[in-house]
């Protein structure tokens, strides 16, 4: 009996011995999770699995809730907290990546990426005022295209989402009516349409429904091979979504004078700026109870900014320029171990 128990204990110890010394758990935004998946795996590998990093794409709201509750070591959010909120919760916030939200359509007979929409038509479609694809307003913007006589089905997120925050933030900026009737937030009262769960759910529904239009983070649209829409930016230029366009939007950002790095990059000036660009953030606790884990956490983020940059670019995200990363490293000095 005793022997059996002893061998059991030895066995358990052996299993535990092969596990990582430090495990860092993160959760939150789905917007950057394709990159985070690559990063957490790559970093864990690079430490010989000594430090194991996990990230669950549960959504920005969940990321904020869980880091506040202290159940995870880092949270991801696309909907930045204000400086006061950070102070109150004892959190530190810094940007991780810049990416683009794109508008996707399922339009039989229209070549991929050919459709153009400007600010009033985009807002009118999501407000439910333009109901059909052969509407004169859309036709006027797309003289060369044969637009189908088809009803427009708006597809949006069913869950609370940072992607929705970025998208509705843009719509609020370009349309006073949207601002007044719907507003901006991670979940809003949509006037029309049906909803899918998370970015993949929206892509799935758009590809199922002929005549559908939706919005998603760029990588998901590329992965799902969905047709994206060219949008007219602030300077009046039609642009297809590209990483260069996201970078151009981020170029004007004045990070130095943004407390808590609070920044929303929608509708930025610049001829090459993609209009719906967003920043995704990391939240960590200012008081790190476990010094070793806290240091490992910073090691991980440092690795992401340097060794991880290539993976981010491959997935159509834009990393932060070196001077901004330097600002972020300064911010880390506030952390107490």
Partner 1 sequence: MFKQLAQKILDPARADRLFRIAVLLSALLLPLVMTGFFLQLGWSSAPAWREFGLSLLWSTEWDPVANRFGALPAIVGTLLTTSIAIVAATPPAFIIALYLVDAPPWIGRPLSQALDLLAAIPSVIYGMWGLFVLVPVMQNHVQPFLADTLRMKHLPFVGEYFNGFGILTAGIILALMILPYISAIMRDVFRMTPPMLRESAYGIGCTRWETAVHIVMRYGARGLLGGVFVGLGRALGETMAVLFVIGNVAMLPDSIFAGGTTIAATLANNFAEADGLLRHVLFALGLVLLVMSFIVQLFAQSCLTATAAARGEER
Binding site for partner 1 (CB under 8 A): 58-62, 65, 151, 153, 158-160, 182-190, 193-197, 204-205, 208-212
Question: In the complex with partner 1, which residue's Cβ is closer, 226 or 231?
Answer: 226
Question: In the complex with partner 1, which residue's Cβ is closer, 148 or 185?
Answer: 185
Can you give 12-30 as a three-state secondary structure string? HHHHHHHCCCEEEEEEECC
Taking the complex as a whole, the smallest distance from the CB of residue 275 to partner 1 amounts, in Å, to 22
Question: In the complex with partner 1, which residue's Cβ is closer, 178 or 274?
Answer: 178
Question: In the complex with partner 1, which residue's Cβ is closer, 176 or 183?
Answer: 183
Is the separation of the CB atoms in 275 and 230 below 8 Å?
A: no
Taking the complex as a whole, the smallest distance from the CB of residue 152 to partner 1 amounts, in Å, to 10
Question: In the complex with partner 1, which residue's Cβ is closer, 20 or 209?
Answer: 209
Question: In the complex with partner 1, which residue's Cβ is closer, 182 or 239?
Answer: 182
Taking the complex as a whole, the smallest distance from the CB of residue 140 to partner 1 amounts, in Å, to 25
Taking the complex as a whole, the smallest distance from the CB of residue 317 to partner 1 amounts, in Å, to 23
Under the phi-then-psi rule, with left for phi > 0, alpha for psi from -120 to 50, and beta for the rest, what region is 12?
Answer: alpha
Question: In the complex with partner 1, which residue's Cβ is closer, 111 or 183?
Answer: 183
Output the six-digit token pair for 115. Answer: 């459709």
Can you give the chain as a three-state secondary structure string? CHHHHHHHHHHHHHHHHHCCCEEEEEEECCCCHHHHHHHHHHHHHHCCCCEEEEEEECCHHHHHHHHHHCCCCEEEECCCCCHHHHHHHCEEEEEEEEEEEEEEEECCCCCCCCCEECHHHHHHHHHCCCCECCCHHHHHHCCCCCCCCCECEEEEECCCCHHHHHHHHHHHHHCHHHHHHCCCCCCCCCCCCEEECHHHHHHHHHHHCCCEEEEEEHHHHHHCCCEECEEECCCCCEECCCHHHHHHHHHCCCHHHCHHHCCCCECCCCCCCCCEEEEEEEEEECECCCHHHHHHHHHHHHHHHHCCHHHHHHCCCECCCHHHHHHHHHHHCCCEC
Question: In the complex with partner 1, which residue's Cβ is closer, 155 or 328?
Answer: 155
Taking the complex as a whole, the smallest distance from the CB of residue 197 to partner 1 amounts, in Å, to 7
Taking the complex as a whole, the smallest distance from the CB of residue 74 to partner 1 amounts, in Å, to 17
Taking the complex as a whole, the smallest distance from the CB of residue 62 to partner 1 amounts, in Å, to 5
Taking the complex as a whole, the smallest distance from the CB of residue 276 to partner 1 amounts, in Å, to 19
Contacts of 219 (CB under 8 A, 6+ apart): 34, 35, 99, 315, 316, 317
Is the separation of the CB atoms in 228 and 241 below 8 Å?
A: yes
Question: In the complex with partner 1, which residue's Cβ is closer, 197 or 302?
Answer: 197
Taking the complex as a whole, the smallest distance from the CB of residue 175 to partner 1 amounts, in Å, to 15
């Amino acid at each position: 009996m005793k022997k059996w128990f002893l061998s059991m204990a030895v066995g358990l110890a052996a299993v535990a011995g092969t596990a990582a010394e430090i495990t860092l758990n993160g959760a939150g935004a789905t917007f950057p999770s394709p990159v985070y998946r690559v990063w957490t795996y790559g970093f864990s590998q690079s430490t010989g699995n000594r430090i194991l990093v996990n990230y669950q794409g549960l959504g920005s709201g969940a990321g904020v809730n869980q880091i506040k509750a202290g159940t995870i070591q880092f949270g991801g959010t696309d909907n930045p907290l204000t400086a006061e909120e950070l102070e109150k919760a004892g959190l530190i916030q810094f940007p991780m990546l810049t990416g683009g939200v794109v508008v996707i359509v399922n339009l039989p007979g229209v070549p991929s990426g050919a459709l153009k929409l400007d600010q009033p038509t985009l807002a009118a479609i999501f407000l439910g005022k333009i109901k059909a694809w052969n509407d004169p307003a859309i036709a006027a913007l797309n003289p060369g295209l044969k637009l189908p006589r088809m009803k427009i089905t708006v597809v949006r997120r069913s869950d609370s989402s940072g992607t929705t925050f970025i998208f509705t933030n843009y719509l609020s900026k370009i349309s006073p009516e949207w601002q007044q009737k719907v507003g901006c937030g991670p979940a809003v009262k949509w006037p029309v349409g049906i909803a899918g769960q998370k970015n993949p759910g929206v892509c799935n529904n758009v590809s199922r429904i002929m005549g559908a239009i939706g919005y998603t983070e760029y990588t998901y649209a590329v992965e799902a091979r969905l047709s994206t829409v060219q949008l007219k930016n602030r300077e009046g230029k039609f642009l297809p979504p590209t990483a260069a366009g996201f970078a151009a939007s981020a170029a004007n950002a004045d990070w130095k004078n943004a407390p808590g790095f609070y920044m929303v990059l929608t509708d930025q000036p610049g001829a090459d700026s993609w209009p719906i660009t967003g920043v995704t953030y990391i939240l960590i606790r200012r008081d790190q109870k476990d010094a070793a884990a806290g240091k490992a956490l910073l090691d991980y983020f440092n690795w992401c900014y340097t060794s991880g940059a290539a993976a981010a670019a491959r997935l159509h995200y834009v990393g932060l320029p070196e001077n901004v990363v330097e600002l972020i490293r300064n911010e880390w000095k506030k952390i107490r171990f």
